[in-house]
């Protein structure tokens, strides 16, 4: 496995602007990436210097059992006016969907990259089927699993983008007929793996992770599941995060699609929102820089959580949850949860306003004993 070189020690900011990009747009892009990385604004000059002057990062983007939404998300992660900046950051040497070449010529470009011995980043989008020798996904006559194993072994590091590449995603949902799994399952013992779950992965986070490496020459800090802390450390449910949280505290919850609460942006917990057990930064990094599911009136389905399809479905349905001990994991199988001020506040609101608000929000709270939370409202979804 290649080793990652040490960080460059450059803090000077004499910006050679990328061709055709205004200084204002360029600094806006760098400032947005700095914010996405949860770094102080003072780091923007260093990031700007790296984006403007560091050699472009060669990227090999493998698409396996996928729907291409992660590519779509990536390409729409910045204002189209500065979208070309992405390609000042990376050199997309192989991407089946975006490259002009097709068929044998496309496959030979991948062979050329691998034979060149150059450093490159491998991005994997989609799940990898292992059943029946991996024949359920073949590209150029080869199984996806054999391609992924070969390319990741030669890559500087690998980014699994989207929940399919992270742990199999929707393709791995029961009964998982193709034996779908993520990169970690297809490449046992892989190191230098960054997981960016989501369905799709947030394009801003894909860009930010690449820029982080370009700037610091090391991977961003990761959690135990290999997810960058800058994007997956915070639960979306809580004060200062979900914009509907104050309504929950006030006991105001949506009880039916299109009701007064729905029209007025109240909490969606009774409509099956899985925000209380979901860790992601989409409340800060909106899609198309415009909105996010909860902001648009849809409950969170917890698409960044492990095995989210099996664990969180049926979606849009409020359900009973059980909490166990202080060391238990959350109901979604996500990161271990601990009692926080947000939880305490939520529990108080739930118990002092109406029984109907004692819900999934409470389920994320850990207690010393096993507690079954009785459902009082069941949404049938739409």
Which residue from 148, 186, 196, 248 is in contact with ligand SF4, where contact means CB under 6 A?
248
Kindly state whether residue 236 participates in binding ligand SF4, applying the rule CB under 6 A. yes
Kindly state whether residue 244 participates in binding ligand SF4, applying the rule CB under 6 A. yes
Kindly state whether residue 164 participates in binding ligand SF4, applying the rule CB under 6 A. yes
Nearer to ligand SF4, 13 or 69 (CB): 69
Q: What is the Cα gyration radius of the chain?
A: 22
Kindly state whether residue 209 participates in binding ligand SF4, applying the rule CB under 6 A. no
Angle subtended at Cα 245 by Cα 239 and Cα 247, rounded to the nearest 5 degrees: 135
Coil, strand or helix at 160: strand
Kindly state whether residue 184 participates in binding ligand SF4, applying the rule CB under 6 A. no
Matching residue, tokens 């002057």: 53
Choose among 62, 316, 310: nearest CA to 172: 310
Which residue from 273, 280, 363, 373 is in contact with ligand SF4, where contact means CB under 6 A?
273
Q: Quote the least distance from Cβ 201 to ligand SF4, whole Å.
A: 7
Kindly state whether residue 172 participates in binding ligand SF4, applying the rule CB under 6 A. no
Interaction with ligand SF4 in 108-127: which residues (CB under 6 A)? 125-126
Output the CA–CA distances (angstroms, integers) from residue 347 to 52, 255, 260, 322, 328, in the order listed: 49, 19, 23, 14, 18
Sign of CA dihedral 346, 296, 160, 181: positive
Nearer to ligand SF4, 107 or 167 (CB): 167
Kindly state whether residue 269 participates in binding ligand SF4, applying the rule CB under 6 A. yes
CA gap 148, 309 in Å, rounded:
24
Q: Quote the least distance from Cβ 379 to ligand SF4, whole Å.
A: 12
Q: What is the DSSP string of 310-321?
A: HHHPSTT----E
Choose among 60, 97, 66, 72: nearest CA to 169: 66
Q: Which residues are at the interface with ligand SF4 (CB under 6 A)? A: 66-67, 69-70, 125-126, 162-164, 169-170, 199-200, 236-237, 242, 244-245, 248, 267-269, 273, 275-276, 294, 300, 361
């Amino acid at each position: 496995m290649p080793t990652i070189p040490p960080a460059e020690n450059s803090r000077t900011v004499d910006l050679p602007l990328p061709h055709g990009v205004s200084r204002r747009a360029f600094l806006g892009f760098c400032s947005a990436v700095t914010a996405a990385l949860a770094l102080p604004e003072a780091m923007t000059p260093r990031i700007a210097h790296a984006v403007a002057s560091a050699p472009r990062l060669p990227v090999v983007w493998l698409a396996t059992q996928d729907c291409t939404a992660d590519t779509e998300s990536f390409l729409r992660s910045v204002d189209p006016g500065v979208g070309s900046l992405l390609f000042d950051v990376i050199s997309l040497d192989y991407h089946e969907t975006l490259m002009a070449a097709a068929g044998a010529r496309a496959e030979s470009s991948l062979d050329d990259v691998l034979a060149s011995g150059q450093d490159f980043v491998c991005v994997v989008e989609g799940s990898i089927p292992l059943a029946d020798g991996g024949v359920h996904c073949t590209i150029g006559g080869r199984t996806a699993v054999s391609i992924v194993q070969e390319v990741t072994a030669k890559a500087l590091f690998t980014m699994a983008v989207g929940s399919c590449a992270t742990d199999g995603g929707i393709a791995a949902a029961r009964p998982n007929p193709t034996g779908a799994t993520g990169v970690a399952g297809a490449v046992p013992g892989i190191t230098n793996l960054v997981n960016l779950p989501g369905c799709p992965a947030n394009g801003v986070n894909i860009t930010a992770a690449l820029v982080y490496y370009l700037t610091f020459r090391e991977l961003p800090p990761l959690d135990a599941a290999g997810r960058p802390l800058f994007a997956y450390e915070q639960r979306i449910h809580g004060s200062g995060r979900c914009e509907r949280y104050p309504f929950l505290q006030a006991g105001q919850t949506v009880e039916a699609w299109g009701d007064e609460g729905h029209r007025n942006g109240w909490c969606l917990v009774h409509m099956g929102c899985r925000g209380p057990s979901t860790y992601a930064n989409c409340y800060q990094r909106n899609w198309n820089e415009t909105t996010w599911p909860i902001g648009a009136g849809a409950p969170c389905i917890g698409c960044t959580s492990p095995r989210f399809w099996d664990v969180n479905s049926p979606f849009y349905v409020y359900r009973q949850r059980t909490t166990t001990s202080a060391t238990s994991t959350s109901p979604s199988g996500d990161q271990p949860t601990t009692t926080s001020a947000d939880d305490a506040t939520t529990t108080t609101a739930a118990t002092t306003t109406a029984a109907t608000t004692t819900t999934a929000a409470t389920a994320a709270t850990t207690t010393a004993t096993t507690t079954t939370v009785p459902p009082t409202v069941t949404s049938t979804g739409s």
